[in-house]
Chain A
Amino acid sequence: MGMTISEKILAKASGREKVEAGEYIVGKIDLAMIHDLTGPLTLNVMKEVGYDTPWNPEKLVIILDHQVPANSTVTADLHKQLRNYAKKHNLKNFHEVGRQGVCHQILAERYVKPGMLVVGADSHTCTLGALGAFATGIGSTEMASVILTGEMWFRVPETIRFELKNGLRRGVSAKDIILKIIGDMGVDGALYCAAEFTGDGIDSLSVDSRLTICNMAIEMGGKTGIVNPDSKTLAYTGAREAPFRSDPDAKYASTYELDLGMLEPQVAMPHSVDNVKPVSEVGEVPVDQVFIGSCTNGRLEDLEAAARVLRGKKVASGTRLVVIPASQSIYLEAERRGYLREFVEAGGVVCNPNCGPCLGGHMGILADGEVCASTSNRNFIGRMGSTASKVYLVSPETAAATAVEGKITDPRKYFRE
């Protein structure tokens, strides 16, 4: 019996030839990440232990990203704690304001390579599985343990295979794929499993798109999303080789199939990520705010798609548009290509890279009764501000079309040649 890519990575990390789903292992961690919200909690745990030297300073990444630059004295203090910790231990992988971006995007651009075992003190760490790594989110206490020991215990997860067939039609994108899957699976449909995305459909997608898909594996309970690395992965990560791919006779808990050619744009309605409908069944939903950004959809490909819709048009009156590139390098490239100018000329606001309103931190918090179409990944009650606001999760294409028309809109008409 062969092994899945997840099993192979966990086997290697635990120094074994072979592991099977359900087994317990202790894995050596290749990369650990904390950010400005979870990091200080981890530092507190280490304070209680009485020891705080990282097992390997090269493998610990600290990123300021949730509220950047600091928007309150509370945030400023959190930043200061991490800054001091980085200074004390001479950590070179500290992402200060000005070298920041949403943590998962920074990890993708700079650190993660295929075959790595990655843990982050953030639930969307599963994003990095798109690069052929095994990546999962953990709590702050467990992170303290990882930082001190470089190891963590795992129960090897079962894997569910998501077989994506054929290619997407114009105006439909990766976000629509993962929303459709979560709608079908439910918020606990992949509980604690590795969600492995395979098939010619995934082969045809860019690395940016794969990151979007794996990002939301956690929204159906997945421990990680994962894609077998190919030449695109190698080009993106600069890795010379991809150490692991799933064997053809690997064992899967179940298989789910999706024909991408049949897919239309999808919308996750308030207040649950699995409350998904095709855009044609959403009806008339006027929106107050459109947010394009986050670790789900703040990448260059997303901004490109949105700029294409907004180019030469205006954001509808009564609606406001907030765009936040996911990292400084994306910001610069979007600037070079003229996208940022196009957003501003259309009447939108472009903010500096960080999480922004995704979790209701700042830069576009919603008031009572307001409605937001957002490219982020969670629409729980109160996620982006007032508990009496509503969030609809959409693709960047749908978000941009919605900004132009002031109500949730099928973007496909903007993508006809």
Chain B
Amino acid sequence: MGGSKLIGVKGKVWLFGDDIDTDVILPGKYLVLTDPNELAKHALEGIVEGFASKISKGDIIVAGKNFGCGSSREHAPLALKYAGVGAIVAKSFSRIFFRNSINIGLPVVVSKDARDLLREGETIRINLEKGIIEREGGENIIVEKYPGFLLEILKDGGLLQNLKRKFGKVDIR
């Protein structure tokens, strides 16, 4: 487990605006669902109808400021992750959304410039270790680099997996 599974995320860009809130990401009426694959079907349906069926695995959301504002529901990043979103790049995130995303293993990347420079549908690759977005044919964009311990949680696929790797070999008895 672990290792360098997550050196980079590669996918098509989906552009969004500012203040995309958790009710848009996952409407409150779906909070009763617990299966992440069911949650995923409704991801972002408040803005893009059928988002989950339109994206390809690994596609990248690129948004403005304050992404994920609103409630603390962990369902919101889960729905995006299981819908196949490979990473989210935004000018800023609501911090509880940021924390939840890292802890479930969904890379959330802060970049002041990406939203203004990238084009809808272009393919990019995010190198999380170096902290850059590589564009096909375009110039690289610098993003905020993660400290090592956050990178480690992401590489493991989330906090739980991180714990399993550290402690899982030991028997519970």
CB-contacts of B88-125 with A (<8 A) = 94-96, 98-99, 103
On whether the beta carbons of B172 and A47 are closer than 8 Å, the reply is: yes
Alpha-carbon gap, A50 to B166, bound state (A) = 10
CB pair B163 A49 closer than 8 Å: yes
**A and B contact pairs by CB, cutoff 8 A, 7 listed:** A24-B147, A49-B163, A50-B170, A139-B74, A145-B162, A145-B163, A148-B166
Residues in B whose Cβ lies below 8 Å from that of A52? 172
Q: How far apart sit A149 and B166, CA to CA, in the bound complex (Å)? A: 9
Q: Is the CB of B172 within 8 A of A141?
A: no
Q: Which of A51, A141, A192 contacts B160 (CB 8 A)?
A: A141
**B55 proximity list for chain A (CB < 8 A):** none
Complex CA gap A47/B168 in Å reads 10
A50-B170, A153-B150 known; 9 new pairs, CB 8 Å cut-off, are A47-B172, A49-B163, A51-B167, A51-B172, A145-B163, A148-B163, A148-B167, A153-B149, A155-B99
Flag if A49 contacts B168 (CB, 8 Å): yes
Quick check: A45 and B160 within 8 Å, CB to CB? yes
Q: Decide: A145 near B168, CB < 8 A? Known: A24-B147, A139-B74, A153-B149.
A: no
Does A144 contact B163, Cβ atoms closer than 8 Å? yes
Q: Give Cα A251 to B40, complex, Å.
A: 41
Q: Which residues of A contact B149 (CB under 8 A)?
A: 24, 26, 153
* B139 interface contact, C-beta 8 A: no
Q: Which residues of chain A come closer than 8 Å to B96, judged between CB atoms? A: 192
Task: Report whether B150 and A24 are in contact in the complex, using a CB–CB cutoff of 8 Å.
Answer: yes
A354 CB to nearest chain B CB (Å): 26
A48 lies within 8 A of chain B by Cβ: yes
Q: Across chains A and B, which 9 residue pairs bring their CB atoms closest together, nearest first?
A: A51-B167, A192-B95, A24-B147, A49-B163, A51-B170, A50-B168, A50-B172, A49-B164, A26-B149
Structural contact, A141 and B95, CB atoms closer than 8 A: no
Residues of B within 8 A of A (CB): 74, 94-96, 98-99, 103, 146-147, 149-150, 153, 159-160, 162-164, 166-168, 170-172
A142 lies within 8 A of chain B by Cβ: yes
Q: How far is the CB of B65 from chain A (nearest CB, A)?
A: 14
Q: Would B167 and A49 count as touching, CB distance under 8 A?
A: yes
Please report the C-alpha to C-alpha distance between residue A49 and residue B164 in the assembled complex, in whole angstroms. 5
Docked pose: A349 CA to B164 CA in angstroms:
49
How far is B74's CA from A50's CA once the two chains are assembled, in angstroms? Answer: 23
Residue of A at shortest CB range from B160?
A: A141
Using a CB-CB cutoff of 8 Å, which residues 133-170 of chain A contact chain B?
139, 141-142, 144-145, 148-149, 153, 155
Residues of B within 8 A of A145 (CB): 159, 162-163
Chain B nearest CB: distance from A369 CB in Å? Answer: 25
- Measured in the bound complex, the distance between the Cα atoms of B162 and A153 in whole Å is 13
* Chain B interface, >50% SS class: helix
A50 and B103: CB pair below 8 A? no
Binding site for B on A (CB under 8 A): 24, 26, 45-52, 139, 141-142, 144-145, 148-149, 153, 155, 191-192
**Bound CA span A155–B94, Å:** 12
The interface residues of chain A lying within 8 Å CB-to-CB of B168 are 49-51
Q: How far is the CA of A145 from the CA of B99 in the complex (A)?
A: 14
Closest Cβ–Cβ distance, residue A133 to chain B (whole Å): 21
Known A47-B172, A49-B160, A153-B150; contact A141-B167, beta-carbon cutoff 8 A = no
Bound state CA distance, A139 and B72, in angstroms? 10
- A-side contacts of B172, CB under 8 Å: 46-47, 50-52
Complex Cα distance, B167 from A191, in Å, reads 34
> What is the chain B residue whose CB lies nearest that of A155?
B95
Q: In whole angstroms, how far apart are the Cα atoms of A170 and B16 in the complex?
A: 54
Contact assessment for A141 and B103 in the assembled complex, using a CB-CB cutoff below 8 Å: yes
Q: Which residues of A contact B153 (CB under 8 A)?
A: 153
For the complex, give the distance between the alpha carbons of A155 and B99 in Å. Answer: 9
State in angstroms the CA–CA spacing of A61 and B160 once bound together. 22
| Chain A residues, Cβ within 8 Å of B103 | 141-142
Query: B residues within 8 A CB of A51?
Result: 163, 167-168, 170, 172
Chain B residues near A45 (CB, 8 Å)? 160
Smallest CB separation, A379 vs chain B (Å): 18
Question: In the complex the two chains form, is A50's CB within 8 Å of B164's CB?
Answer: yes
CB distance from A115 to the nearest CB of B (A): 23
CA distance A192 to B72 in the complex (A): 11
Closest to B171 in A: A50
- With contact pairs A47-B172, A49-B167, A50-B168 given, residues A142 and B95 touching in the complex (Cβ less than 8 Å): no
CA distance A232 to B44 in the complex (A): 51
Closest residue of chain B to A193 (Cβ to Cβ) is B95
Q: Which partner residue on chain A sits nearest B162 by CB separation?
A: A145
Instruction: Give the CA-CA distance A149 to B74 in the complex, in Å.
Output: 22
CB nearest neighbor in B for A51? B167
Cross-interface CB contact of B159 among A50, A141, A155, A191, cutoff 8 Å: A141
A384 CB to closest chain B CB, in angstroms? Answer: 21
Complex interface: chain B residues within 8 A of A139 (CB):
74
Q: Can you name the residue of chain B whose Cβ is closest to the Cβ of A221?
A: B96
* Residue in B closest to A46 when the chains form the complex, CB atoms: B172
Q: How far is the CB of B1 from chain A (nearest CB, A)?
A: 13
Whole-angstrom CA separation of A148 from B147 in the bound complex: 21
Q: Which residues of A lie under 8 Å from residue B150 when comparing CB positions?
A: 24, 153
In Å, the complex CA distance between A46 and B166 comes to 12
Whole-angstrom CA separation of A148 from B165 in the bound complex: 12
Residues in A with CB closer than 8 Å to B98 are: 155
CA distance A73 to B167 in the complex (A): 33
Complex Cα gap A51–B160 (Å): 12
